[in-house]
Amino acid sequence: LSSLHLKEEKPKPDANGAVVKADDNIEKTEDEEKEDRAAQSLLNKLIRSNLVDTTNQVEVLQRDPTSPLYSVKSFEELRLKPQLLQGVYAMGFNRPSKIQENALPMMLAEPPQNLIAQSQSGTGKTAAFVLAMLSRVEPGNKYPQCLCLSPTYELALQTGKVIEQMGKFYPELKLAYAVRGNKLERGQKISEQIVIGTPGTVLDWCAKLKFIDPKKIKVFVLDEADVMIATQGHQDQSIRIQRMLPRDCQMLLFSATFEDSVWKFAQKIVPDPNVIKLKREEETLDTIKQYYVLCNNRDEKFQALCNIYGAITIAQAMIFCHTRKTAGWLAAELSKEGHQVALLSGEMMVEQRAAVIERFREGKEKVLVTTNVCARG
């Protein structure tokens, strides 16, 4: 369904030719903070591989308050193409999630409607906009028709996996990744119907290299808007891409949070939108019990972890640390105790980080030690 040929990225040397690594003891730079927000989102996507059955209430603000408000309780009600419905069920979706119930009738309506939606990881948001893209695409037309922006390479790959899974019964459907390092010949025209990528590369493919004709795009999706605006360049690039698209292109924007900066950005990207917001009453889940153990120092914390592992059976665990240095130390100590440990660090290459999380998901590693990158969403 897709092809991706990446150039290997290597750490860049400083002016003296030395490769410099970040000091774990210094305060995070602005770039590291931005990287953490993207990593938080990636972790949530990878760890919450199944739908979370949330009880959060959905608030729907329609573009036209006088029009009927529809919701669905089954995918059959959406009258999807048979091969698309087959793909939905093959992914294990038996019924729409809370956000899908309200968002899908809007996204699949004729004529197409624009949407701004708030949705946490695990609520079926990615599947919803992928369903919208696949519903609009015409596999017989060999040019890009749907365009999806993600803040990072890793997040683009995760969305691509959903497209590949849901679209596997469309033999003619192809997917292209517009990410840094994906090599194409200059002057080449893309024949894939769906393109997913990061803003900078997508902008180059549309404006400079002419790989994509933006005037033929039917659906434009901007995912993880709150992560996107953490990088000023991405925000500006996204707006420039949006302005190249036809007026009747369907615009869909998703964000885990809706602070003022995100809302202002969303309004620039999505004209005349329907809006879906979550009424989040509380931050903790009723089904999760939380405990804390008072410790005086690092050694006591490590001993407490060992005591917990000695007292109860733990299939898999995630352990969060404040710094990369502490995470590295803890991973080494747990390995000495015989645990199967994976370490997730911002110093790793993007491919390495994706591989670590994939091994953890597959159960090859029983403990994932990382920094506080999973606090969002």
For 232-267, what is each residue's pLDDT tens digit?
Answer: 799 999 999 999 999 999 999 999 888 899 999 999
Distance separating alpha carbons of residues 22 and 28, to the nearest angstrom: 9
Domains of the chain from N-terminus onward: 57-279 (3.40.50.300), 291-371 (3.40.50.300)
Q: Are 177 and 225 in contact (CB under 8 A)?
A: no
Select the more confidently predicted residue: 149 or 32: 149
Select the more confidently predicted residue: 122 or 52: 122
pLDDT for residue 42:
65
Q: What is the mean pLDDT of the chain?
A: 83
For 324-377, what is each residue's pLDDT tens digit?
Answer: 899 999 999 999 988 899 998 877 776 788 788 888 888 888 899 987 654 443
CA distances from 96 to 111, 123, 251 (A): 22, 10, 21
Q: Are 212 and 144 in contact (CB under 8 A)?
A: yes
Confidence check: pLDDT of 8 > 60: no
Residue 314 — very low, low, confident or very high, per pLDDT cuts 50/70/90? confident
Average pLDDT over residues 9-28: 46
Confidence check: pLDDT of 127 > 80: yes
pLDDT for residue 349:
76
Average pLDDT over residues 260-275: 94
pLDDT for residue 307:
87
Select the more confidently predicted residue: 70 or 250: 250
Confidence check: pLDDT of 53 > 50: no
Region of poorest pLDDT, from 20-29, 93-102, 213-222, 249-258: 20-29
Distance separating alpha carbons of residues 125 and 102, to the nearest angstrom: 11
Q: In what order do the strands lie in the sheet with 367-371?
A: 317-321, 367-371, 341-344
Confidence check: pLDDT of 193 > 90: yes
3-state SS, 30-99, equals HHHHHHHHHHHHHHHHHHCCCCCCCCCEEEEECCCCCCCCCCCCCHHHHCCCHHHHHHHHHCCCCCCCHH
